[in-house]
Chain A
Amino acid sequence: MPLDTADYTYRIPGQTGDWEIVVGLEVHAQVRSKSKLFSGASTEFGAAPNSHVSLVDAAMPGMLPVINEECVAQAVRTGLGLNAKINRFSRFDRKNYFYPDLPQGYQISQFEFPIVGEGEIECERDDGSRFTVGIERLHLEQDAGKSIHDLDPNATYVDLNRSGVALMEIVSRPHLRSPGDAAAYVRTLRTIVRYLDTCGGDMEKGQMRADVNVSVCKPGAYEKFRESGDFSHLGTRCEIKNVNSLRFIQQAIEYEAQRQIDLLEDGGKVIQQTRLFDANTGVTRAMRSKEEAHDYRYFPDPDLLPLKLEEAFIETLKAGLPELPAEKRERFVSRLGLSEYDASVLAADKDRADYFEKVIEGRDAKLAANWVNNELFGRLNKEGLSITESPVGPQQLGKLVKLIEEDVISGKIAKEVFEILWDEGGDPEAIVEKKGLKQITDTGAIEKVVDDLIAQNPEQAAQVRDKPKAMGWFVGQVMKATGGKANPQAVNEILQKKLLG
């Protein structure tokens, strides 16, 4: 299918005709740093409650925030990875609201002047097709603590370990048009921050979570919005808070879009509101909080001066950026000669790409890609393991590929060796040596086997002259006689010569 002409428009049929959806996302990505954004307490996950907490994080009176230079650098790196404008001037503001896990009574965030401005990233769908999503901004802010509601029926338990950890809020343009594309966008973001090492990207640990804005409209309205930038062409949106997996993002969008369509077709109106997604039931429901909870009364934080970035600081970070997934994919295709598909699969995940690059050191890349993508990933998937848990290491697999490449063993024997490596480990060369799996390339030895076979089976040999396909039987017999170790190419050549002459 020519992808550039494919129709990716997601439509939901209704009583009044088809509907389309428009989605924008705010992704909160936890910054990878040793200490918090404004205090020297540790960011390490899983510590005893309220241990990684300083007096600043607990908002004791008189405490002052001092910003962590590395968190600033991480935000700039991420901005560069999103092809975005780095703002030389940014400012911290207070976002005021009350909640038990927010001891300050406000979150330090960036409202009017974010550290990173407009950008754009290319995302990839499962079928390999690509689409572009605009980034509106990225700003730095503090994470809140954690409330635990299920330890006591009448009380909430609060742990401030996460309080004050740096977050990057990455806001997309409303450029996503289907639940699948929204998930693909978040997946791409995750890949980018993991390549940059600016965020762990582990959604299960809460290192990345998304607020999802969903609205519905009639076909044609979105195009008018894109042409004019006028939001009045779009429907009223609802924001679904804190969705923490790719699957839930899709489910929440599907449910929410249908809810809005049903409402509109019944003659109702969508009210702009914040909703929660219940992963157990798959539905979204309005938050009970009063409207005024959204009156955050932002104002510049008087405890912090504006953040001004020097050109040299940005240039140094730019120079130190690693190769990004899109660049890597391109290099795999243009320099290593991999197929677009193989290159995409390998570049889509940093751990996979790192593994692959270790396998190919001094080896044939196409053959290695084939082994990593098919044999290794196939086996890992089957066992439910990730690449970092692979029992076969990249050096081992690299050696195995080298053995195939140098005709020491055939592809078929290599699969046997792979099984041994998977189950017992060891060195591929030593295994081949010890088990006597070396391919027989000595034509003299193969010729002898062939001569014997022809002598013992004159009728079959005669048949081959009329029906060349019958040679397959001889190939099988030679392989059987040599324990599968005969070089298939050599066997074919010798049989051709001897039987067809």
Chain B
Amino acid sequence: MSVTQDDVRRIARLARIAEPTDRIEQLTGELNGILDWVEQLGEVDVEGVEPMTTAVSTPLPLRPDAVTDGEITQDILKNAPRSEEGFFVVPKSVE
């Protein structure tokens, strides 16, 4: 598996980072290097092994349904570039 320069531009767009115009060739090479490296895992025989997404075998911790948090509007809005009457105010974004 490998990525093209177009793929890299697309990934940048999806991640909302500036298109790395001047480094596109270098980045494509680096990303393909990582992919090649991961590809090597394909050599491992995983016949009969359940796919897994974690090496932790403990169960998912559950919490009881109780209100224990929130009511900290000031903290929530503290770092907002702009806020008004308790709302975050962001550039117009309407569909």
Contacts and interface: CB of A to CB of B under 8 A. Distances in A.
Interface of A: 33-35, 39-42, 48-58, 66-72, 91, 96, 98-100, 147-149, 151-160, 276, 287-289, 292, 295, 297, 300, 302, 304-308
Q: Kindly state the interface size class of chain B when it binds its partner.
A: 35 or more
Given A40-B69, A276-B95, A292-B10, A155 B90 contact: yes
B23 interface: no
Contact of A304 (B60, B68, B94): B60
Given A91-B53, A300-B53, A306 B76 contact: no
A35 B58 CA distance: 24
Given A52-B70, A306-B53, 13 more contacts: A34-B66, A40-B66, A40-B68, A50-B87, A52-B71, A55-B72, A56-B69, A96-B14, A154-B91, A155-B90, A156-B91, A289-B95, A302-B53
A297 B14 contact: yes
Contact of A48 (B56, B86, B92): B86
Contacts of A151: 87
Contact of A100 (B70, B76, B84, B88): B88
Most buried by A among B58, B70, B89, B94: B70
Contact of B76 (A39, A50, A153): A50
Contact of A147 (B70, B73, B84, B93): B93
Interface of B: 10, 13-14, 16, 53-54, 56, 58-73, 75-77, 82, 84-95
Contacts of A302: 53-54
A41 B61 CA distance: 18
B86 A33 contact: no
Given A34-B66, A69-B63, A306 B54 contact: yes
B89 A157 contact: yes
A3 to B, nearest CB: 42
Contacts of A305: 54, 56, 58-61
B88 A157 contact: yes
B41 to A, nearest CB: 16
Contacts of A156: 89-94
Given A69-B63, A276-B95, A98 B69 contact: no
22 contacts: A35-B65, A35-B67, A40-B66, A40-B69, A41-B67, A41-B70, A50-B73, A50-B88, A54-B70, A66-B62, A66-B63, A67-B61, A69-B62, A69-B63, A69-B64, A72-B62, A100-B88, A152-B92, A155-B82, A159-B87, A304-B60, A308-B60
